[in-house]
Amino acid sequence: MNTDETEWLSTQEAARRLGITPRTLYRFIDHGELPAYRFGRVIRLRSHEVDEFINRSRIQPGELEHLYPEPAARGDEPS
């Protein structure tokens, strides 16, 4: 990446790129999960840092098993 030409995103553009609401984006920024920069009253995000955030957020196989517990077998049901 050429550091001389940083591609900046507005909060609206970053939220749209992530598929989230601006409110959720602000929460990620406020919690330190996504870096952002204030220039006067304007908040901007670096495009490559948004891409890095996307990569860090990737779900690994097996991480969601708790969301779909195996159903009880018919013989295991209480009488």
CA 40/CA 14 separation, integer angstroms: 18
Query: What per-residue string of b and e applies to 17-50 under the rule 16 or more CB within 10 Å gives b?
Result: bbeeeeeebeebbeeeebebeeeeeebbbbbebb
Place of tokens 């295991």: 76
Each residue's pLDDT tens digit, 3-36: 568 999 999 999 999 999 999 999 999 999 999 9
Each residue's pLDDT tens digit, 60-71: 999 999 899 887
43 within a domain of the structure (yes/no): yes
Each residue's pLDDT tens digit, 31-56: 999 999 999 999 999 999 999 999 99
Of 41, 36, 40, give the one whose Cα is nearest residue 8: 36
In total, how many domains does the chain have? 1
The CATH number that applies at residue 38 is 1.10.10
Q: Which two tokens stand for residue 55?
A: 């990569």
Range of the domain at 38: 1-56
